[in-house]
Amino acid sequence: MSVNYQIGQVVRLSLSVKQSGALTAADNVSLVITDPNNASQTYALADVVVDDVGLYHFDLELTMAGRYRYRWSGTGDTAGADSGFIQVAHSGC
């Protein structure tokens, strides 16, 4: 199912980190968000919200129409990555 978001909405980007099936604290987490103009911003662990052991989120305000891409990554014993995109409709769509 495809979801079109609107300018001004806030979208929660979430990450869960597991090791052997159990939630575990990440050694290091980063989030890179690329906006529709292809400008990228990198956020470190200190910039994201730690909800609980192994659970993280970042609230992204959608300020322009187009496709936002995001990529979570971790290093160390909990190395891994997850990525996705958010499509924001042009006004009136």
Residue 38 within a domain: yes
| pLDDT at 63 > cutoff 80 | yes
Q: What is the pLDDT of residues 1-59, one digit of tens each?
A: 356 899 999 999 999 998 888 888 888 999 999 999 999 999 999 999 999 999 999 99
CB atoms within 10 A of CB 25: 16
Does residue 53 form part of some domain? yes
- Domain containing residue 81: 4-88
Q: How far apart are CA 3 and CA 6, in angstroms?
A: 10
pLDDT at residue 1 in the model: 38
Q: 57 lies in a domain?
A: yes
- For residues 57-66, give the mean pLDDT: 97
Q: DSSP string covering 6-62, please? A: -TT-EEEEEEE-EETTEE---SEEEEEEE-TTS-EEEEEGGGSEEEETTEEEEEEE-
Is 93 within a domain? no
Instruction: Read off the CATH number of the domain in which 41 is found.
Output: 2.60.40.10
Domains identified in the chain, total number: 1
Structure confidence at residue 92 (pLDDT) = 58
Query: What radius of gyration do the chain's Cα atoms show?
Result: 14
47 or 76: which carries more pLDDT confidence?
47
Residue 80 — pLDDT band, cuts 50, 70, 90? confident
Does 61 fall in a domain?
Answer: yes
